[in-house]
Amino acid sequence: MKVLMLRGNPRKNGVTERLADLFARGLRESGAELFDVDLASKNIGLCRGCFACSAGEKGRCVIDDDMADILDLLDEADAVVCASPIYFYAMGAQLKIFWERCFPFIRGYYYDAELGGMRNRTNFSKDGKKFVTIGAASGRIKSSFEAVTHTYQSIATALGFEYAADIRRAESPHFTSLDAKSLRVRKILDAFEIAGREFGATGKISEAVIKTAELELAESDEVFAQNAGVFWELNKNRNVAGFGFDDAKTDVRILLREMCRLLIPKEAPEKADIEFYFPDKEWRFAMRINSGKCELGELSAPSECDLRITCTAPLWADILGMRANVMEKLASGELLLEGRRRLFSSMKKYFRLPDGVR
């Protein structure tokens, strides 16, 4: 199967690029013949609406740029895969320009009685192309993808494509906050590679794989909004060239909320109050465990607690990320424990913490 992958993401260190790389790897592993096109690196002008390409049986655009070669690839492809970030509820501009320049394949309209609507009459060398779309959005699935999914569906219907799958990866700025060490993130990443293998081998992607690829990171809109607030606070003073996610995955406010989310009720004490103090930030947090539930709140002053943990914010992030030796930090005094120290040694079993915490 000949597959044309169209990448519509201008930023090359982001989530869309990573997911497209994984899907492409799966395609290659399946034996598919892959034509991987980075639209952002191509010289593709805007459609002028001149209708010059409508002449003859095989139209040619009058604009002399890189689009001519890509149109040839599209013509001969058995399948098309589009990967794009979601910008203002739509596909990225690079991909939108591409579709506008596909007018040379249109030869009028006809009424499809079975569909009950109008379709474009096309002149592709290969009809019935299979179609997959991959999107990465900063918001949640329900609020971010409705418009762009409808657009993709309309394109597929109009051009006679078989829409095999629409894979929607929401919460993209926070996608790497848990890092690949997170079981959920690892499952998501694996699902994109598996999806590529399935599509390359069968022309289809199973619902189970799509569901895994779209797993939510935050368990509710409220938790997502909290994490999003931290992310935007971290990045509001960045310039475009320095934009990245490294700080988001080491910010203790996100990491402490994630600890609460990962609480294992049957392993946790019936009731425990744990205070975290980060003197470098002057941040205090109270983590309260009660009857299998965990809540996190901010403090303005020290409180009565069963255990107080004091260290710098980067050190706690390093401990959770297994980048710091806990025993060494305790011995050096960089990590201070006050109160029920056994609570600290038990954290791993009821917060699913890495082996570095003991």
The span from the CA of 97 to the CA of 46, in Å, is 6
Q: Write down the mean pLDDT value for the chain.
A: 86
**d(Cα 5, Cα 17) in Å, to the nearest integer?**
12
Residue 196 binned pLDDT confidence (cut-offs 50, 70, 90) = very high
Q: Residue 159 has which token pair?
A: 């051009």
pLDDT of residue 100 exceeding 60, the answer is yes
Per-residue pLDDT of 34-82, as tens digits, reads: 999 999 999 999 999 998 888 877 778 899 999 999 999 999 999 999 9
The band of 241, judged by pLDDT with boundaries at 50, 70 and 90, is very low
Domain residue extents for the chain: 2-213, 251-351
Which of 118-127, 136-145, 213-222, 289-298 tops mean pLDDT? 289-298
CATH topology classification for 251-351: Nonspecific Lipid-transfer Protein; Chain A (3.30.1050)
| Strand blocks (E) in 158-291 | 162-169, 271-278, 283-290
Two tokens, residue 107: 């030869």
pLDDT band (50, 70, 90) for residue 176: low
The CATH H-level superfamily of 2-213 is Flavodoxin domain (3.40.50.360)
The answer to whether 255 and 248 are in contact (CB under 8 A) is no
Q: What is the pLDDT of residue 250?
A: 67
Q: Is the pLDDT confidence value at 348 over 50?
A: yes
Residue 240, pLDDT score: 36
pLDDT over 90 (residue 195): yes
Q: What's the confidence (pLDDT) of residue 229? A: 65
Cα distances from 259 to residues 96, 173, 231, 279, 288, in angstroms, run: 41, 19, 17, 20, 12
